[in-house]
């Protein structure tokens, strides 16, 4: 059967690139992008777009029925920093939208992708090589919604057989689309500032290690997980996913190889406490064993491709 896909929250950092990748894989007309925001210029004209509120269950249900949707990627969410400025909205949107989509998934027999995050972990979690199954006591509202969401997805799978799949994304680094409202956003901002200004003041301290991943790896992981035969998915809690772990100091050193006069300074703010509560590195051996996940981009490869592409983008 031809897959017909709906991406909710398509104009965000992941949604933009995922929409483009899905359109390439399944055909432009078979991937409907939707967002509460205006259509992203990055995919405008490449396929159908509908302005849609992720909380509007009736509108989404009507769209799913009308367009005979088979798969939903639900990406609409508030991230860790924005979530702390409005915890009530963070809970309302992140959990409310998920619950509605899970119910719709059951009613319409849909396949669903929903992203979790390294934010499910907290200060009581082992920080190095954080295992798939471990202590989870998140301290941000975003982390609370992601952990609760994982449990909800697992519940709907076990109780109702719903095919909902998920990964715990680390910080994502991309040049096409920009992140918004996360603690790991510095690892994208640094490239813009290095190219435009030759300097960057980081809101995290120099030795704050966090798990990160280049966007191409994240998109490939998502598409691969959604393609894996059902019996290979042994965890219905979200899969740990790992690629690179680095500190602000280390990424700055790598950037200096291309921009020798680049100056990095540090002014940690309230985001430091969030970063300090998260893992420094992730053990993703379960994803590697269950469905063959393998990252391609290490720190040098990622920095090279980011600088090349962003330099060209910013020169236009």
142 labelled catalytic: yes
Nearer Cβ to ligand AKB (148/311) = 148
Instruction: List CB contacts of 159: < 8 A, sequence separation 6 or more.
Output: none
CB of 216 to ligand AKB, least distance (A): 16
* Min CB(243)–ligand AKB separation in Å: 13
Pair of tokens at residue 309: 């592409």
76 binds ligand AKB (CB under 6 A): no
| Alpha-carbon gap, residue 151 to 102, rounded angstroms | 12
119 in contact with ligand AKB (CB under 6 A) = yes
d(CA 167, CA 171): 12
CA torsion through residues 97, 111, 135, 241, sign: negative
Closest separation between CB of residue 85 and ligand AKB, Å?
Answer: 12
Q: Does 30 bind ligand AKB (CB under 6 A)?
A: no
Nearer to ligand AKB, 114 or 169 (CB): 169
164 binds ligand AKB (CB under 6 A): no
Among 171, 188, 237, 307, binds ligand AKB (CB under 6 A): 171
Q: With contacts defined by CB under 6 A, name the span among 26-34, 106-114, 121-129, 182-190 that binds ligand AKB.
A: 182-190
Q: Which is nearer to ligand AKB, 166 or 183 (CB)?
A: 183
Q: Which of 26, 73, 142, 186 is catalytic?
A: 142
**Total of residues contacting ligand AKB (CB under 6 A):** 11
The binder of ligand AKB chosen from 9, 12, 105, 182 (CB under 6 A): 182
Does 277 sit near ligand AKB (CB under 6 A)? Answer: no
Piece of 98-106, 177-185, 199-207, 293-301 that binds ligand AKB (CB under 6 A): 177-185
Shortest Å, Cβ 274 to ligand AKB: 8
How far, in Å, CA of 209 to CA of 76, rounded?
A: 27
Query: Are 71 and 30 contacting, i.e. CB atoms less than 8 angstroms apart?
Result: no
| Nearest in space to 220 (alpha carbons), one of 18, 24, 3 | 18
State the minimum distance, in angstroms, from the CB of residue 118 to ligand AKB. 5
36 vs 40, 72, 130, 219, CA distance in Å?
A: 11, 16, 35, 22
Q: Is 79 in the site for ligand AKB (CB under 6 A)?
A: yes
Residue among 40, 71, 80, 240 that touches ligand AKB (CB under 6 A): 80
Kindly state whether residue 102 participates in binding ligand AKB, applying the rule CB under 6 A: no
Q: Strand 71-74 to strand 116-117: parallel, antiparallel, or no bridges (unpaired)?
A: unpaired
With contacts defined by CB under 6 A, name the span among 42-50, 68-76, 112-120, 215-223 that binds ligand AKB: 112-120
Task: List the strands of the sheet with 244-246, edge to edge.
Answer: 171-173, 210-214, 244-246
Report angle CA 103, 109, 115 to the nearest 5 degrees: 60
CA neighbor of 168 nearest in space, from 138, 194, 199 = 138
Tokens of 281: 């590195």
Give the binding range for ligand AKB (CB under 6 A) out of 42-50, 87-95, 117-125, 295-303.
117-125
Cβ contact 35:15 at 8 Å = yes
Taking Cα atoms as reference points, which of 145, 151, 154 lies closest to residue 79? 145
Token pair for residue 243? 């690629």
- What is the Cα–Cα distance from 316 to 311, expressed in whole angstroms? 9
List residues binding ligand AKB (CB under 6 A). 79-80, 117-119, 142, 169, 171, 182-184
Residues known to be catalytic: 142
């Amino acid at each position: 059967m031809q897959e017909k896909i709906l991406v909710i929250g398509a104009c965000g950092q992941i949604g933009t690139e995922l929409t483009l990748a899905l359109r390439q894989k399944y055909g432009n007309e078979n991937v409907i992008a939707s967002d509460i925001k205006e259509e992203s210029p990055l995919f405008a004209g490449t396929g159908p777009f509908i302005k849609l509120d992720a909380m509007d269950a009736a509108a989404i249900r009507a769209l799913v029925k009308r367009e005979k949707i088979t798969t939903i990627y639900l990406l609409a969410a508030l991230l860790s920093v924005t979530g702390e400025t409005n915890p009530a909205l963070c809970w309302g949107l992140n959990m409310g939208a998920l619950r509605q989509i899970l119910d719709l998934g059951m009613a319409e027999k849909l396949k669903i992708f929903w992203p979790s995050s390294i934010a499910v972990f907290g200060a009581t979690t082992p920080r190095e090589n954080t295992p798939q199954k471990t202590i989870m006591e998140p301290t941000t509202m975003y982390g609370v919604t992601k952990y609760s969401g994982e449990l909800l997805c697992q519940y709907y799978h076990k109780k109702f057989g719903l095919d909902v799949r998920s990964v715990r994304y680390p910080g994502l680094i991309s040049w096409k689309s920009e992140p918004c409202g996360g603690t790991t956003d510095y690892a994208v901002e640094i490239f813009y500032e290095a190219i435009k200004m030759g300097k960057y003041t980081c809101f995290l301290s120099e030795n704050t290690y966090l798990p990160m991943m280049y966007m191409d790896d994240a998109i490939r992981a998502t598409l691969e997980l959604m393609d894996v035969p059902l019996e290979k998915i042994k965890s219905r809690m979200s899969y740990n996913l790992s690629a690179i772990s680095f500190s602000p100091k280390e990424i700055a050193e790598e950037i200096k190889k291309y921009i020798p006069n680049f100056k990095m300074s540090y002014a940690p703010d309230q985001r430091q406490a969030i970063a300090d509560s998260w893992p420094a590195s992730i053990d993703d051996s379960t994803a590697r064993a269950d469905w063959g996940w393998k990252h391609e981009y290490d720190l040098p490869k990622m920095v090279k491709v980011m600088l090349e592409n962003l330099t060209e983008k910013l020169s236009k």
